[in-house]
Amino acid sequence: MISSKQCVKEIKQSLKLFNKKKKYLLHEPFLDKSDSTQINKCIYSTFVSSVSGYTNIFEKELSKFTGSKYVVAMVTGTAAIEIALKSVGVKKDEEVLIPNANYIASANSTLQIGAIPHFIDIDKSNLGIDINKLSIYLKKITLIKNGKLINKKTKRIISAIMPTHIFGNTCDVLKLLNLTKKFKIKIIEDSSEALGSFYKNKHLGTFGKVGILSFNGNKIMTTGAGGALLTDDKKIFDKALHLSKISRKQNNYWEYDYSQLGHNYRMPGINAALGISQLKKVKKILKIKKKIYNIYTRAFKNSKNISLIKENKNCNSNNWLNSIYISGCNLKIRNRIINELNKKNIFVRPLWKLMHKISYLKKYPKMSISNSIIVEKSLISLPSSTNLKN
């Protein structure tokens, strides 16, 4: 088993590009004067809140970039997930299949609408869903009745699956599509980390019924806080937009009446203004990210104990966070490595705590998650900001 000192030494030897006097944060936003110029224009227009032409423009530009017919910009990616679940018709007490190695937003949004998270395993090579393992599992625990997938143990409907494209990479999306058609479940793609990632030249988030993007401050591009829902389905779009605008009836601009319980989730114009500026630079950002990925690839090429997570062969990843596997690692060693590197101003992080270990999620159903357990104790994400390009 590798020691933390040995691993830190090997990482430092591989990463000679790091200057001891500088701080290397995990992922900083790419911001310049053009961003403040665009935000100032929005401020002087006075349309800084959710009723703003800037929000509409940002949605149109996102539609062009991603190839999605319809886009709804929202206040966060988490809000977009919640609206997506409602828009595709996931109901109370229905189960949603969610990767166990995941950010908390998917599980929280599922619980917010009264549905049940059901945790599934990931593939160690690409961090996407382990499709072969899932297929065997679903054959064992489910049956199809009246066009619905039923969990034989819980007697509940399994209505949707939410693959997460971790760090901008993905599983075999087409294989997953075939599996979901066979088992009659809807795909909601959590592409929060995958703006600018393409699978067989199609943008991630545009394969399922809906897709989700996030523009948090640490993402490829940022709106400060924000997210978006992508869909090619007009009915889903109309429902999502209506729900995100408090479900207000728009008979005229002055009357306040509502069709149902809605949410004040529409993205404000001031955030959208930053998004418009950021989106103009995203191709440049993606080129820099690819350069950084290639540098890391060369750096760890001859390492005995460390391997860089590689792109899926059919995925052109945005390379959001470059991450490594450490062989022979455990949680104790992993934590020592992280602490030692952080002390040296190289700010790295582990994968998220596994869903089934979080206190309020322990009671929910799960399959065997052996791969997730290996990944949790072996993976560390490295500094990946665009300012590393030199």
Count of positions (residues) in the chain: 390
Hunting for tokens 């992993």 — which residue is that? 334
Q: For residue 1, what pLDDT band results from cuts at 50, 70 and 90?
A: low
Q: What is the pLDDT of residues 240-296, one digit of tens each?
A: 999 999 888 777 677 787 788 889 999 999 999 999 999 999 999 999 999 999 999
Kindly report the average pLDDT of the chain as a whole number: 93
What does the alpha-carbon distance between residue 374 and residue 355 come to, in Å, rounded to a whole number?
14
Give how far the C-alpha of residue 29 lies from the chain's centroid of Cα atoms, to the nearest Å. 16
Question: What is the predicted pLDDT for the residue at 17?
Answer: 61
What does the alpha-carbon distance between residue 204 and residue 372 come to, in Å, rounded to a whole number?
22
Report the phi/psi class of residue 167: left, alpha or beta, with left for phi > 0 and alpha for psi in -120 to 50. left
Question: CATH class for domain 33-280?
Answer: alpha beta
User: Do 33-280 and 4-28+282-354+377-388 fall under one CATH topology?
Assistant: no
230 forms beta bridges with: 71, 211
Identify the sign of the CA torsion 110, 115, 117, 123. Answer: negative
199 forms beta bridges with: 202, 315
166: helix, coil or strand?
helix
What single-letter DSSP state applies at residue 268?
Answer: P
Q: CATH number for the 4-28+282-354+377-388 domain, one of 3.30.360.10, 3.30.10.20, 3.90.1150.10, 2.40.30.260?
A: 3.90.1150.10
What does the alpha-carbon distance between residue 108 and residue 346 come to, in Å, rounded to a whole number?
31
Angle value at C-alpha 309, between 213 and 339, nearest 5 degrees: 90
Query: pTM for the full model?
Result: 0.94
**CA-based max dimension of the chain:** 69
Q: What is the pLDDT of residues 20-54, one digit of tens each?
A: 668 889 999 999 999 999 999 999 999 999 989 99
Share of the chain above pLDDT 90, in %: 82
- 66: nearest Cα among 217, 212, 285: 212
Contacts of 254 (CB under 8 A, 6+ apart): none
- Give domain limits for the chain: 4-28+282-354+377-388, 33-280
Question: What is the predicted pLDDT for the residue at 82?
Answer: 98
Residue type, 273: A
